[in-house]
Amino acid sequence: MRIIRTKDYNSMSKIAANIIRAQSVMNPESVLGLSTGCSPLGTYKNLVKWYEEGELDFSKIKTINVDEYKGLTKDDPQSYAYFMNENFFFNININIENAHIPNGMAQDPEKECKRYDKIIESLGGIDLIMLGIGPNGHIAFNEPCEYFTKGSSLAVLSKDTIEANARLFDNPDDVPKLAYTMGTQSIFMAKKIIMVVNGEAKAEAVKNSFLGPITPQVPASILQMHNDFTLIADEAALSKI
Ligand code: GLP
Whole-number Å distance between alpha carbons of 152 and 184: 8
Choose one of 35, 38, 139, 186 to mutate for the ligand 1 pocket test, by most ligand atoms within 8 angstroms of C-beta: 35
What 8-state DSSP symbol labels residue 157?
P
Please check the confidence at residue 227 and state whether its pLDDT lies above 90.
yes
Q: What percent of the chain has pLDDT over 70?
A: 100
What is the pLDDT of the chain when averaged over all its residues?
97
Does ligand 1 have an atom closer than 6 angstroms to the CB of 196?
no
Give the span between the Cα atoms of 142 and 131, in whole angstroms: 12
Q: Which residues of 10-34 are buried (b: 16+ CB within 10 A; e: fewer)?
A: eebbbbbbebbbebbeeeeebbbbb
pLDDT tens-digit series, residues 126-141: 999 999 999 999 999 9
Q: Tell the residue nearest (CA) to atom 3 of ligand 1.
A: 140
Instruction: Give the span between the Cα atoms of 16 and 21, in whole angstroms.
Output: 9
Which helix (DSSP H) or strand (DSSP E) does residue 14 occupy?
A: helix 9-26
Q: What residue type is assigned to position 218 of the chain? A: V
pLDDT tier for residue 172 given thresholds of 50, 70 and 90? confident
Cα of 40 from ligand 1 centre, angstroms: 9
Which residues on adjacent β-strands are paired with residue 179?
69, 155
231: pLDDT strictly greater than 90: yes
Ligand 1 in reach of 198 Cβ (< 6 A): no
142 in catalytic set: no
* pLDDT tens digits, 11-61: 999 999 999 999 999 999 999 999 999 999 999 999 999 999 999 999 999
Name the least confident of 97-111, 156-170, 195-209: 156-170
Catalytic residue among 65, 100, 138, 198: 138
Q: Is 33 in the pocket of ligand 1 (CB under 6 A)?
A: no
Spot the catalytic one: 67, 68, 112, 234. Answer: 67
| Active-site option among 136, 142, 198, 208 | 136
Closest-CA residue to 116 (of 129, 100, 96, 140): 100
